Amino acid sequence: MCTSILQIAKDGTHILARTMDWHALYVQPLFVPRGYEWESVYDNGRHVNRYAMIGGGGPHDHEIDVSDGVNEMGLSVQKLTFANGSHLVDQPTPGQVHLAPYEFSFYLLGHYASVADIEAHIDEIQLMSGKWAVNNIGDSELHFAVVDRTGRTVVIEPTHFPMKVRENPLGVVTNSKDFELQLQRLGQYVNYTDDFKAGTLPVNATRVSTGRFSGKPVPSGSFTPGGRFVRAAYYKERADLPANEEAGIISAWHLLNTVTVPRSSQYRPTYSVYRAATVCESLTYYFQPYDRLDVVQLKLTPDMLDWTAPKFYPVANHLTVTALNQQTEQVGGDQTDQYTPV
């Protein structure tokens, strides 16, 4: 279970943030180069990525499993659990690209420059069940949040094939299969604009509601997919619009606080093992594992485009603090504390 929240700053910066709710932490920041060759677990089919990327994931057989990331063209993709919503393909169609569902985010980041680029090729791709898989691919049900530098934000759901690219100006995704029903429930807490109700909201609109909340109830604290969807959207609509990337990351992290699932092993098997965000314009990845209260940052810099091998960045998952009283010195007769990060 996971929650995705898109923030659009006043300066046009697009920040796609998320929680990853899982049993344990298996993800670390990573870089994957242009021209990276890999094999699908589904059929051992060979693929060659066009674009470099950064994000979160790890090595997996003869490929790299990427849960979220941004590529060199500013395309950001996340995969999220899609409970009881997937209708995967059993019989592979000749001439199509056949993938295990969890490979799709990596394939998108490696092959496409924008949402429009994905849309032009989406009918070439099938997400497969394990019925005729060459290897054991498990039984994953996923859908995918995508945004690019134009501000077009969509959800791709394997409910039928060819898959459809669904517009999502709300910019919030959780795990439920009935998106329209979630919007109806959210309507109990916000007043939608006429443009949103008519499906004519322009790209990069920062609000889908009128901003009038008087007489509306406040969302509950439930961690169900529906509860997190309503809470994320409700507080996003009420929050101040961030000015830029720095303010947007701060805002995104506070919004994620409303849907971050605490570790509670006696009552639920999953918790928010990490939180992350990608920035389409600056090609930056922000990452925070559960036990660490500060955030690490990885940038896709121009020199990295010449790298030829993947790189993984292990991040210590433990409490890190700034010690204010670690050392003291005398300055002009006054005692001034000097602090150093630890």
**pLDDT per residue rounded down to tens, the chain (342 residues):** 799 999 999 999 999 999 999 999 999 999 999 999 999 999 999 999 999 999 999 998 899 999 999 999 999 999 999 877 888 999 999 999 999 999 999 999 999 999 999 999 999 999 999 999 999 998 888 999 999 999 999 999 999 899 989 999 999 999 988 888 899 999 999 999 999 999 999 999 999 999 999 889 999 888 999 999 999 999 999 999 999 999 999 999 999 999 999 999 888 899 999 999 999 999 999 999 999 999 999 999 999 999 999 999 999 999 988 899 876 554 455 555 554 554
Which among 190, 279, 200 has a CA at the least distance from the CA of 230?
A: 190
The answer for residues whose C-beta is within 8 angstroms of residue 331's C-beta and 6 or more apart is none
Instruction: Report the pLDDT value the prediction gives residue 54, as an integer from 0 to 100.
Output: 98
DSSP codes, 50-108: SS-EEEEEEEETTEEEEEEEEETTS-EEEEEE-TTT---BSSPPTTSEEE-GGGHHHHH
Q: How far apart are CA 97 and CA 93, in angstroms?
A: 9
Neighbours of 325 (CB within 10 A): 8
Which residue type is seen at 94?
A: P
Alpha carbons 302 and 31: distance in angstroms, whole number: 13
Q: How far apart are CA 319 and CA 181, in angstroms?
A: 40
Q: Which of 225, 153, 155, 159 is nearest to 186 (CA)?
A: 225
Cβ atoms 161, 146 nearer than 8 A: no
Q: Which pLDDT score, from 0 to 100, does residue 86 have? A: 85
Report d(CA 230, CA 221) in Å as an integer.
10
pLDDT at 342: 46
Which tokens belong to 318? 């433990």
Task: Copy the structure tokens of residue 49.
Answer: 């990525």
Query: Could you count the other beta carbons within 10 Å of the beta carbon of residue 176?
Result: 20
Angle between helices 245-257 and 225-238 (to 10 degrees): 140
pLDDT at 335: 52
